A = this chain, B = another copy of it.
Amino acid sequence: MNQHASHKPDYEKELRRAGVRITRPRRVILGILTETDDHPDAMEIFQRASAVDSSISLSTVYRTMKLLEELGAIHRHAFEGGRARFEQADGDHHDHLIDIDTGDVIEFHSDRIEALQEEIARALGYDIVHHRLELYGRKRRKS
């Protein structure tokens, strides 16, 4: 099991490569995504974007996130509790531990769990297309 270290992607380059226009709202949103390491939801991104340019709409945030998701630049997660949350897609697969008190997300990866999942699916006659492993926990109190 090991935690994961992130590196900054160049979203603007990715979008340009996809042939979409680099507009002012998009530039602001991409900037926010680039400088964040957590897992914000659309509303959080919208608020941070509004602080930079108050004319940006929530719709544009959603549209931009959908665009980035389709390009494979970000991942959308439906953790418990309403809103979807986003994170940059930096190649390496990982699962999530969500702090139920703060909402913080810790990424982790376990080859052993992945292998067991494969084993189980095979035994049931299935090929795994994707999976979802989320641990919801609380920080252990110092004893």
Contact = CB atoms under 8 A, between A and B. Distances in A.
A140 B121 CA distance: 9
A14 to B, nearest CB: 25
A106 B124 CA distance: 8
A138 to B, nearest CB: 5
A1 interface: yes
B117 A139 contact: no
B117 A129 contact: no
A40 to B, nearest CB: 20
B128 A137 contact: yes
A130 B97 CA distance: 10
Contacts of A124: 3, 97, 106, 108
Most chain B CB within a 10 A radius of its CB, from A113, A126, A136: A126
